[in-house]
Each structure stands twice: as C-alpha cells, then as structure tokens.
Amino acid sequence: MELRNCRRCGRPFLYAGIPFCPDCQDEDERLFQTLKDYLYDHPQASLGEIVRETGIAYETIVRFLREGRLELTGGEPPLHCERCGAAIPTGRLCGGCTALLEREISRGLASAPRSPAGGAPVSSREGRMYTYRSGPAPKGQAKPGR
C-alpha cells in the first residue's frame, strides 16, 4: 500500500484502490444511500431536481453515474459517451462503443502468439530467455556472445 492524500479532504491515508480516506469513504456511502433512497421514492426525477431536493453536489452525482453505481431514468441523460459523444444514462461508454471495444480486445487477444502449452501470450522472441554465463562453456557449446 502507498501513502496518498485524500481527493476530498486532503488528509494522508493508506491507498487501497479508492482515492478517499476512510472517513470520506463513509461520507460518500452515506451520500449514495441518501441518493438511492430519494430515487427509490422519485424514480423519474431529473438531475436538477435531485440536486435541489437532496442537497448532494452535482459533481458527486455525476461521479456516481460515471462509476456505474447509479442510473437516472428521468429527464435527459446527463452523461455523454467518452468515445462517440452519444447521450448515456450511466457509465463512460455507450452500448455500441462498449461492444466495439470488446470486439477489438477479443480480436487482439486471439491474434497474440501463444506459448506452446496454450497459455498466456508470449513475446516476439517466443519466450526465450538469455543469460550471461561466466567461466568456461560446457563441452560442445560456445560461450554466448553479446
């Protein structure tokens, strides 16, 4: 683990994959629960209405949407696909761009050279490892050059 400063309050903490200290994580979860409860009672609420009624910052709600933790069904979708710009209700990419990315990754993995046992892709040198050996070479072998 490494020591980082909390993105929200600036205090140092041990980073474990979430950019907030434990106190701010707890506050984040409390805000998310408040938001979730409000949306349960008002499923068609727009983003502006949610901000007004809950007091939760617009940026915090958008972050929850981008993380995919939340999806709004009322009003105009507040997010846009980071690849094509289409309006989306949650996440970072629209369905079409997500499918395209998945196909490209699958194609790349399928075309990568495989180890003889069918395991993980290997480098272009086919998994060979070269070492420098000091001293005399074994009988019948030349000492490797540089």
Q: Which helix (H) or strand (E) holds 100?
A: helix 95-111
Statement: the pTM of the whole predicted model exceeds 0.85: no
Determine the Cα–Cα distance for residues 21 and 14; give it in Å rounded to an integer: 8
Helices 58-66 and 47-54 cross at an angle (nearest 10°) of 130
Beta bridge partners of 114: 121
State pLDDT tens for residues 68-88: 988 888 777 889 999 999 999
State pLDDT tens for residues 42-78: 988 888 899 999 999 999 999 999 999 888 887 778 8
Domain boundaries, the chain: 2-76, 80-112
Burial class of residue 12, CB neighbours in 10 A (0-12, 13-18, 19+): exposed
